[in-house]
Structure 1
């Protein structure tokens, strides 16, 4: 029997699923076309940094404790208490991401390029913390794969979103067939999803404002995906 809070969050998660299953709006689809065109304007070294950073992030996520930091987790926490902890953690990470984005954005293209791996690290640390707060052991390889699928879902295109969503919602059945993550596909999806706003960060002066705003919004987008994914794992889809 769910509590009123659990029922409210379950319904919220189901609405989120419906939203994820819908095709992107025409504005978003037009933005995608613009992004694809603008990709040609982004310096090749930026693309290389993103590719290298994503590959390293996946390797660290699956094989090391790089993103595991000491946090206090109580197995007796209710869903509401767990989500209060996640929100507090998100607030801290958003502050860090905003400061980091503003600092690198102020430096133009040189520091703007450095922002990609730094922001990736912040996102993954947040995801690993979130998984543990919801009661899942990130020491397990399967749970680390799930974390990466949540990341992929947050930054996937229309073409990939439904496939990844299906895996996330049916993880107990799907995980046996998932042995690894295609980092090349992931880096392309991630790069395309953030290029439009992050490219503006490379503009000296203006980049500081965009950097702080973009990093905050991207982390909020990731947090919404993670919270709803874990709610449905706990309460059922």
Structure 2
């Protein structure tokens, strides 16, 4: 490893430690409350929501893959890949912020429209990141990997640790994976963003909350994606750049 890769490796380890650390009491109590609410929701409603999010995500995956740019060559340094990812994240973060402010200012109906729009922005960013780090999203396993990055970013403690294990052992684990557990995928995502997105529907503060929330959600996803791909690259044998 060169000097930058050693620095990046240390940053990845610090990020990994943060992921493995148990969240605070407030977050744990919130998760328990959300689990109780999910238990009250009728099974038919869960099935409808799961199918809706599954189809929404799959449609976004297909659309993102169609518009995706060429995979960046293996001769590009990790530093250059990181810098380009930061540039792309800045662009997508601004888009998400404007979109959140706009839908948040529009009341309940536009606020509800924020969900699929934000989901699309997040997925497009992940496709960009995959290409920047040299992974071909035309391959099914790479699209599945993207979904695991998404799940790692927007899940509870236990699911994060489970997902991180799969990511860290991807070459071994991917053979066991056929598809996502969509019920878990949608429930974890909804629980993660539920409270702040409800605030976005409140008249008067929706625009501010929407902009702030979307900025931070994209920022969090960017940090997760960058460190996951760094982890994947740095776990491979050193390359001569």
Structure 1-normalised TM-score? 0.89
In structure 2, distance between residues paired with 1:108 and 1:33:
29
Residue 173 (structure 1) aligns with = 172
Change (3 A) 1:133 1:231: same
In structure 1, distance between residues paired with 2:167 and 2:217:
20
Confirm whether residue 86 of structure 1 aligns to residue 85 of structure 2: yes
Structure 2-normalised TM-score? 0.87
Q: Secondary structure at the match of 1:77?
A: coil
Mapped contact 1:39–1:195 kept (Cα < 8 A): no
Mapped contact 2:149–2:228 kept (Cα < 8 A): yes
In structure 2, distance between residues paired with 1:49 and 1:67:
26
Q: Secondary structure at the match of 1:136?
A: coil
Mapped contact 1:68–1:125 kept (Cα < 8 A): no
Confirm whether residue 200 of structure 1 aligns to residue 174 of structure 2: no
Change (3 A) 1:205 1:107: same
Q: Which of 69, 72, 85 is residue 71 of structure 1 equivalent to?
A: 69
In structure 2, distance between residues paired with 1:88 and 1:168:
24
Mapped contact 2:103–2:207 kept (Cα < 8 A): yes
Change (3 A) 1:122 1:229: same
CA-CA distance at 1:27 after TM superposition = 3.0
Structure 1 window deviating more from structure 2 (31-40 vs 114-123): it is: 31-40
CA-CA distance at 1:60 after TM superposition = 2.8
Mapped contact 1:61–1:144 kept (Cα < 8 A): no
Residue 156 (structure 2) aligns with = 157
Residue 122 (structure 1) aligns with = 121
Residue 215 (structure 1) aligns with = 214
Unaligned regions of 5+ residues in structure 1, if any?
Answer: 41-45
In structure 2, distance between residues paired with 1:203 and 1:34:
21
Confirm whether residue 8 of structure 1 aligns to residue 7 of structure 2: yes
Change (3 A) 1:5 1:214: same
Report how many aligned residue pairs link the two structures: 231
Q: What stretches of structure 1 move > 4 A for 4+ residues in a row? A: 33-40, 46-53
CA-CA distance at 1:57 after TM superposition = 3.5
